[in-house]
């Protein structure tokens, strides 16, 4: 099993550009989430999904869009990149029942200039 | 809303010593889970230990153990016989059970350095 994979590992964008961060998992987990990690802060939830076709907002959803057409994939779209979105982005997946352990991808470091 | 607070931004100990990282949380929920995650310089988030709130017994995983005080809403991590490989950021996290059991709320993290 590859677990949770994310692409790309690094990305530099100019203000106003759009892009999609890819996330895939091969563990057949129902739940998937996107977090961002800023310096000096813990991870904060952007969006999450409890199954294909079902998504919801987390703590910091503004400027991001998600969809979940399959169990395996959960892409995160930046609609119009801003310097405030410079961060490290983590995708995670989790089974729908106990013990509720989240498995994290390796992260994507995004810089918006 | 739940909040998680880690009051120690940085800690440093000598190899083989024991170190305790603090975490407090605020919630009105009765059923929840608490976690400690380790983030080494590689950036990968690694689960260290997990505690179910309904369990009175403190969780242990080899050199890692927790002191879970539900009434005080405290969840500290003890690392015994610390090793150089324990150097990392450590995050305390909260997850409520049932609806919402996919949202982890993280503390700000504690940077732990193990010195040779």
Rounded Cα–Cα distance for residues A16 and B85 (Å): 41
E strand map for chain A? 4-7, 10-13, 19-25, 31-37, 43-51, 54-57, 64-66, 76-78, 87-94, 103-104, 108-112
Residue B90 near residue B36 (C-beta atoms within 8 A) = yes
Q: End-to-end CA distance of chain A, in Å?
A: 36
Percent of chain A with pLDDT over 90: 88
Sign of CA dihedral B58, A29, B104, B106: positive
Give the model's pLDDT for residue B56: 87
How many whole angstroms from its chain centre is CA B75? 7
- Of the candidates B42, B103, B107, which has its C-beta nearest A45's C-beta? B103
Task: Return the pLDDT at A60.
Answer: 95
CB A15 within 8 A of CB A83: yes
| B89–A contact, CB cutoff 8 A | no
**If 0-12 CB within 10 Å is exposed, 13-18 middle and 19+ buried, where does residue A23 land?**
buried
Res A26 pLDDT > 70 = yes
Chain A residues in contact with B34 by the CB 8 A cut-off are none
Q: Are B114 and B13 in contact (CB under 8 A)?
A: yes
State the pLDDT at residue A38: 94
Q: Is the pLDDT of residue A16 over 70?
A: yes
- Among the listed ranges A3-17, A52-66, B56-70, B86-100, which one has the minimum average pLDDT value? B86-100
Q: What number of C-beta contacts closer than 8 Å exist between A and B? A: 57
Across chain B, mean pLDDT equals 94
Which of A25, A34, A43, A45 is best to mutate for the B interface (most B CBs within 10 A)? A43
For residue A71, the SS3 value is: coil
- Is the model's pLDDT at B100 over the cut of 70? no
CB contact under 8 A, B102 and A94: yes
Residue B86, classed as helix, strand or coil, is helix
Residue B101 is predicted with a pLDDT of 65
Can you tell me the mean pLDDT for A45-63? 94
């Amino acid at each position: 099993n590859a677990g949770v994979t994310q692409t790309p590992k690094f990305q530099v964008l100019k203000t106003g550009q759009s892009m999609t961060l890819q996330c895939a998992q091969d563990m057949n987990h129902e739940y998937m989430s996107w977090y961002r990690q800023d310096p000096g802060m813990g991870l904060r939830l952007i969006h999450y999904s409890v199954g294909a076709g079902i998504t919801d907002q987390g703590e910091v959803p503004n400027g991001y869009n998600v969809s979940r057409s399959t169990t395996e994939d959960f892409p995160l779209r930046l609609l119009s990149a801003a310097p405030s979105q410079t961060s490290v982005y983590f995708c995670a997946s989790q089974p729908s029942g106990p013990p509720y352990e989240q498995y994290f991808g390796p992260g994507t470091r995004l810089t918006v200039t | 809303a739940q909040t998680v607070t880690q009051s120690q931004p940085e800690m440093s100990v000598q190899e083989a010593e024991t170190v305790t990282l603090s975490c407090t949380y605020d919630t009105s929920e009765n059923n929840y889970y608490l976690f400690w995650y380790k983030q080494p310089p590689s950036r990968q988030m690694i689960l260290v230990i997990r505690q179910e709130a309904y369990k009175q017994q403190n969780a242990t995983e080899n050199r890692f153990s927790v002191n879970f005080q539900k009434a005080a809403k405290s969840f500290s991590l003890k690392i015994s016989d610390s090793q150089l490989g324990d150097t990392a950021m450590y995050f305390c996290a909260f997850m409520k059970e049932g609806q919402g059991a996919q949202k982890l709320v993280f503390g700000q993290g504690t940077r732990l350095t193990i010195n040779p």
